[in-house]
A and B are shown apart, each in its own frame.
Chain A
């Protein structure tokens, strides 16, 4: 008995120890990127200005830092973390490595809502004055949540079978994306680039109001996830096994999906559908640090933040003053890393 206990302890500690270097590395990377993000841009801030701005009692004296850089940096980190966590949950719950926030219809719903709002504000200038661009995040949030609910309702039949959910989600998502493309093609005209930019996912021109809009959802999602960590680890064993271990499978699956949807929809609302982060990061995290679901959550959160922030920095500095969409850049940055890790790991399997 004692021997067995010692073995378990060693195994558990071994698992944690292997995870710490990855976590530490990610934290360092994130801090470095945050500093870089605050400094770099069309107007570069030197270290002195940066320091004075951060400690200043009067933020209004440092508008670039407080109105542009800081909210944008924080948003990139939070949004990236949310997408990553949402993807991690979805891949676990749907048990398909191809799952991402697009699969539950969030991106499609948000995209369509935004495009329709833009269209309306073009057709009816009165509405534009009333709702304005400030209404975009709300429209995206409502659209994303509504379509996700629709997907879940369509796929529900005495429970949520993973395969049925995935197929339904992909079908609905594809229909919505097609509708978005249709609207853009028919009506886009000179505004195609603007719309594309939003659809590609971007943090251009975001400020603290976006962050305040996002944070309640972030907190709600994370809090709701805490009790679900253990059940989600069990879901990996398959429905029957999980059930005999005492898990109310359908209830936890629904809760987990709801969390994933909320995280993704609110992130889409402020940054556009950067859904690829949700697909790539969980895989990267798994390849970097193995372990239980709970162990992967922090890795995923940090990695999502790092990837998105890095993409945003590159996006606004590479072709400055032109803005490149961070959503596309996360993919361009993340995919080569993912492929490298895949090849490296592939040899081992």
Chain B
């Protein structure tokens, strides 16, 4: 009983014929795991994520949470279980961080509800977890890119949903803040049992943080499993068009797989030197 998609067909309705982006896809998230969705640009990752979150109606097929179709959950009950951080969210002028994060409590309050002690605690918790407590009274528009992204993560956390879907949560962040967000998600996953599904671009980070890695290309799932098993040189060549290999690196007392990649040989015929890595 988890979040699952059955024979999902996704796309956007045009005036004449719909533009299909995901032809047919079935998928079931693992409860309590971190899922990373990777794939080349335009492969349908974000579209799939939106459908899983229930903000995009499938052309056919269905998405179910605990066996019940998302549309039958009702908007607010669903938002209490499932939070989505979209790719380019927009905030209104003048809004403060705290006001923004408090919007995440809507599903718990209802149309007319005032905020309760539980709401305030959840907002404070979300702000503290993301390290935004000190900035809570600042205007959102005055924040740096990294701070903005953390504020959006805080909004999603304030929903206190047990499924967290994030579309490229590390964009606009420097490497330190990227790792902070990813570690935060892992911490929430380990401590609170959150099920996380996110679109990531960095394959190293995806393989580091994912319990389960889903590789998409042209709207289809090309591979699904543990990162080490999934990201084979053959798959990376087929999906991303790169020549890649994994090397084990010693760091911090542990051995980490590290991907080395380059474009296929004919594009770089004049350059040599790192052939031993791929050999």
Contact = CB atoms under 8 A, between A and B. Distances in A.
Interface of A: 344, 347-348
Nearest to A349: B12
Contacts of B15: 344, 347-348
Nearest to A344: B15
Contacts of A344: 15
Interface string B1-26: 00000000000011100000000000
B142 to A, nearest CB: 15
DSSP class of B's interface residues: helix, strand, loop or mixed? loop
A105 to B, nearest CB: 26
Contacts of A347: 13-15
A348 B13 CA distance: 7
Interface in B108-132: none
A348 B11 CA distance: 11
Contacts of B14: 347-348
A347 B12 CA distance: 9
A330 B222 CA distance: 56
Nearest to A343: B15
A18 to B, nearest CB: 17
A2 B222 CA distance: 32
A87 B15 CA distance: 29
Contacts of B13: 347
B28 to A, nearest CB: 32
A344 B14 CA distance: 9
Nearest to A347: B15
6 contacts: A344-B15, A347-B13, A347-B14, A347-B15, A348-B14, A348-B15
Contacts of A348: 14-15
A344 B13 CA distance: 12
B38 to A, nearest CB: 26
B57 to A, nearest CB: 15
Interface string B188-214: 000000000000000000000000000
Nearest to B19: A348
A287 to B, nearest CB: 13
A166 to B, nearest CB: 15
Nearest to B93: A163
Nearest to B14: A348
A344 B16 CA distance: 10
A348 B18 CA distance: 9
A206 B231 CA distance: 76
A344 B15 CA distance: 7
A271 B13 CA distance: 44
Interface string B31-51: 000000000000000000000
Nearest to B13: A347
A347 to B, nearest CB: 4
A229 to B, nearest CB: 30
